[in-house]
Chain A
Amino acid sequence: MDAETPPTPPTLALVNVGKAFGAVQALQGVTLELHAGEVHALAGENGAGKSTIVKTFAGVHRPDSGEVRLDGEPVVFGGPADAQQAGVAVIYQEPTLFPDLSVGENIFMGRQPRTGLGRIDRRAMHAAAAELFTRLGVPLDPQQPARGLSIADQQVVEIAKAISRDARVLIMDEPTAALTGQEVARLFTVTRTLQSQGCAILFISHRLEEIFELCQRVTILRDGRWITSEPLAGLTADDLVRRMVGRELSALYPKQDVVPGEVALEVSRLTREGVFTDVSFQVRRGEIVALAGLVGAGRSEVARAIFGVDRRDAGEVKVNGRGITGAGPTAAMDAGLALVPEDRRQQGLVMDMSIERNMGLTQLPALRRAGRLGPLLSRKVERDRARGWAERLQLKFSQLSDAVGVLSGGNQQKVVLAKWLATDPAVLIVDEPTRGIDVGTKSEVHRLLSELAGRNLAVLMISSDLPEVLGMADRVLVMHEGRLVAEIPRAEATEESVMAAATGQNGKAAA
């Protein structure tokens, strides 16, 4: 504790908190103090543990070690209801509304104004909701159902919900991500009012300028560990970025130098309304191009639109100079695209199916053999092919007929890679290829990607792992809030330059 700590104990605090999910240590030795009348910023890269902290304060998670303190006294939140009872209001990153209930009911669920006999006073409830919206400057009708609200309006309802609690502690996890500038300004006004009334506030945002505008202190996390808590006065945006990334660059990432060939993937002016806008870039044969940015910047969405999973509203995708005819993933596959998706368990694999079957899924037509009743799948061809790929990728398994669910994360990812490489693509898009994979397998995946590029495959790699981006990529494209804001060649790419672009810092200078 430093000398500046006021004599009154913090309203709400985490002391030396650790939390693990399975094998993943999400938080380790984190101490965070929220004082009355102070707006405290929490900053860190994707996956640094910010949302875990929010959920610990909210009573959703209980810490494995360390403790939560309320007014200096240790307290155990058995669930969200306990935290609310203690005066903690939370605005979550993802709006959590009841789509079938009215906006007013959403705000006051569980604490509706009552008339005699404990009945809900709808008139008072809707009037109170309308007043909240006036305060926030958003013309929402309290009586309309929450279903059909835009993300921004949903977020406004969440904010109204939190404010209406007259909370002692307000936790805001990226409340501004979907808001317009004017709405953000209103939110800040309301926040400052609450602050002056003695509310302790935690504010999370990827927009550093918002942190500087609103907050007095900042705590920085990196990989689930506490890095620093200090007053913001005197710090610059660069200081913050440096503290957020500041880790050793290891030499784990062996991208071979390749002279890029012809353009294999050309994306021009790709737009999906409200998700990303006007995205254009090229990937050449033999190149690995990284698509960096913060979570929610629209990277995976771009990949999904290129591959035809999501509809694109405007723009064009060409593979080897030819536009993709038709819609949907099948057309993309026919054109020579392959996508290794972000979520291995949900999107990449059928967990209960065997290794060979998973690998065979992308090539069912090739596995056909003539049968008396029409074409059947040849299990022999399927198995032979699977064995070939398993050897090439050095897959560790006991039987090809085992369910992929029993493999380790790294080996599962190899199965996904095999499944897509088997289609002999011209362009491979990999989304977070090494997330949740141990270090050893990680470098194997890197070696593999590098080797594939060496054989003239064009690789588009989406990754939130900065060292991976810097080590692997020939070029780094950076997205910020649905737009491509920077293209950084390998020589100039540093953690600072990429993070600066990703947090919108160089937007003003470059644009």
Chain B
Amino acid sequence: MTAHHAKPSNRGSLVDLVLRARELSIFVALVLLVVITTLVNPRFLSAQGVEDIFLNASILALLAVGQTLVVITRNIDLSVGSVIGLVAFVVGDFVSGTDHGVLVAVLLGVAIGAGCGLVNGLLVSFLQVPALVVTLGTLYVVQGVNHYIAHGRQINAAEVPSAILGLGNGDILGIPYLPLITVAVMLLVGYYLRAYPSGREFYAIGSSPEAARLAGVPIRRRVLAAYVAGGVLAGLAGVLWLARFGTVIADPAKGWELRVVAAVVVGGVAIVGGVGSVYGAALGALLITTIGSVLVVLKINSFWQEAIIGLLLLLAISADRVVALRVAQVLRKRNAAARTSPAPAAGEREPVNGVSR
């Protein structure tokens, strides 16, 4: 992220500032968490420990990037947990016992994910069915399809081609592929959302659908694109899941959809759309994953993990609300001041009555 260079005023962009602040505060929380845990148990920060956290966070963060695209447009995709499972299983089934490479696996996985995204997107954008209901429906349908295909079987790591397993466990210069892929995707999507007109339209739609309509923004096409992109990333995540674990049962990522939504919201993406970044969402995913590892290291019962994620979520949204109110207040005051002071004469300002003729 390059700092933007525009400087018509020295105030800087308050929108960006607030967003940065959010990403910064998650980062600080993350650092604190790591430091404290390391003080208690120095082995936490071992190379293996760090690598594990990044590996584990990669798939969640990838899904969080996709979910961000959807949530920013004031929608939601609950089907990702099922989709990633379906993809992992079907692709695993397809490549088992063959010598197919990574490319085939990725293409197949992405195609399945895109198909699921397309169905969600068409129902939400063209039939105008609420996203919560549509994706809850596809969540169950995809889950059912997965169980039907699996029929009690599972994919065995031994049968998966080593090229594909290498994707999940190999590295380049000591850095594993998985986080590299996630970071690359995150940077790409983040740059697109920020720098391209069509990217900004995702925010516009979520910020005010009515204003977007009047501004001629192609709402349906953008929402459809958000779902398809979300589906593609879920498909990619499914392939990575297969590559990382090798052994896959039916519907392996059950419950992940809510974890992804939690990561996105903790990461500062407003659930009502219009605000947030993929960087924040990815950081949110990293934070949630790290908490999981910390609990293990501190020997706290992992049942607590869910409760802690919940608390984090409540904390995040409460903080958002307080900050939003504060910012609005400050802005209103500043605007009032800005308007009265430099205006040369013309009497006192009355907000509604324009009776100064």
Q: A151 — nearest CB in chain B belongs to which residue?
A: B351
Residues in B neighbouring A80, C-beta threshold 8 A: 213-216
Choose from A119, A139, A150, A277 the contact partner of B332 (Cβ within 8 Å).
A150
* Chain A 101-134 per-residue mask, 1 if CB under 8 angstroms from chain B, else 0: 1100100011110100011101101110110000
Asked if B283 is at the interface (CB within 8 A of a chain A CB), the reply is no
Q: How far is the CB of A179 from chain B (nearest CB, A)?
A: 5
Q: A129 — nearest CB in chain B belongs to which residue?
A: B8
- B6 in contact with A110 (CB, 8 Å): no
Could you tell me which residues of chain B, from 1 to 49, have a CB within 8 Å of some CB in chain A? 4-9, 11-15
Residues in B neighbouring A182, C-beta threshold 8 A: 343, 346, 356
Asked if B181 is at the interface (CB within 8 A of a chain A CB), the reply is no
Contacts A122-B4, A148-B335, A182-B343; is A98 near B13 (CB within 8 Å)? no
Residues in B neighbouring A92, C-beta threshold 8 A: 214
Asked if B77 is at the interface (CB within 8 A of a chain A CB), the reply is no
Residues in A neighbouring B5, C-beta threshold 8 A: 122-123
- B204 in contact with A98 (CB, 8 Å): yes
- A110 in contact with B335 (CB, 8 Å): no
Asked if B111 is at the interface (CB within 8 A of a chain A CB), the reply is no
Could you tell me which residues of chain B, from 197 to 236, have a CB within 8 Å of some CB in chain A? 197, 200-201, 203-204, 206-208, 210-218
Alpha-carbon gap, A118 to B330, bound state (A): 35
Q: How far is the CB of A280 from chain B (nearest CB, A)?
A: 17
Alpha-carbon gap, A377 to B4, bound state (A): 62
Residues in B neighbouring A140, C-beta threshold 8 A: 335, 338
Residues in A neighbouring B350, C-beta threshold 8 A: 180, 274
Asked if A100 is at the interface (CB within 8 A of a chain B CB), the reply is yes
- B13 in contact with A150 (CB, 8 Å): no
Total contacting residues, chain A, CB less than 8 A: 67
Asked if B98 is at the interface (CB within 8 A of a chain A CB), the reply is no
Choose from A143, A150, A181 the contact partner of B354 (Cβ within 8 Å).
A181
Q: How large is the interface on B (under 10, 10 to 19, 20 to 34, 35 or more residues)?
A: 35 or more
Residues in B neighbouring A90, C-beta threshold 8 A: 214
- A481 in contact with B352 (CB, 8 Å): yes
Asked if A343 is at the interface (CB within 8 A of a chain B CB), the reply is no
Residues in A neighbouring B207, C-beta threshold 8 A: 98-101
- A178 in contact with B8 (CB, 8 Å): no
Contacts A101-B204, A180-B346; is A143 near B353 (CB within 8 Å)? no
- B328 in contact with A143 (CB, 8 Å): no
Choose from A60, A122, A148, A151 the contact partner of B327 (Cβ within 8 Å).
A148
Contacts A122-B6, A126-B8; is A100 near B354 (CB within 8 Å)? no
Q: A141 — nearest CB in chain B belongs to which residue?
A: B9
Alpha-carbon gap, A182 to B274, bound state (A): 34
Alpha-carbon gap, A313 to B310, bound state (A): 40
Q: How far is the CB of A358 from chain B (nearest CB, A)?
A: 27
Residues in B neighbouring A122, C-beta threshold 8 A: 4-6
- B352 in contact with A275 (CB, 8 Å): yes
Asked if A96 is at the interface (CB within 8 A of a chain B CB), the reply is yes
Alpha-carbon gap, A101 to B194, bound state (A): 11
Q: B341 — nearest CB in chain A belongs to which residue?
A: A139
Residues in A neighbouring B303, C-beta threshold 8 A: none
- A143 in contact with B13 (CB, 8 Å): yes
- B352 in contact with A482 (CB, 8 Å): yes
Contacts A98-B211, A119-B195, A209-B357; is A142 near B352 (CB within 8 Å)? no
Contacts A110-B216, A150-B332, A181-B357; is A127 near B351 (CB within 8 Å)? no
- A274 in contact with B352 (CB, 8 Å): yes
Alpha-carbon gap, A81 to B220, bound state (A): 13
Q: How far is the CB of B13 from chain A (nearest CB, A)?
A: 4
- Other than A120-B196, A274-B350, A274-B351, give 10 A-B pairs with Cβ distance below 8 A: A60-B214, A92-B214, A96-B211, A101-B274, A109-B200, A111-B197, A114-B197, A119-B196, A144-B11, A504-B355
Question: Which residues on B are within 8 Å of A, measured CB to CB?
Answer: 4-9, 11-15, 195-197, 200-201, 203-204, 206-208, 210-218, 270, 274-275, 327-332, 335-336, 338-339, 342-343, 346-347, 349-357
- Sort A-B residue pairs by CB-CB distance and give the 9 closest, nearest first: A148-B331, A181-B356, A81-B216, A100-B274, A96-B211, A98-B207, A274-B351, A182-B346, A100-B207
A-B contact pairs, 10 of them (CB 8 A): A84-B216, A92-B214, A101-B207, A120-B200, A126-B6, A150-B339, A153-B339, A178-B354, A181-B355, A482-B352
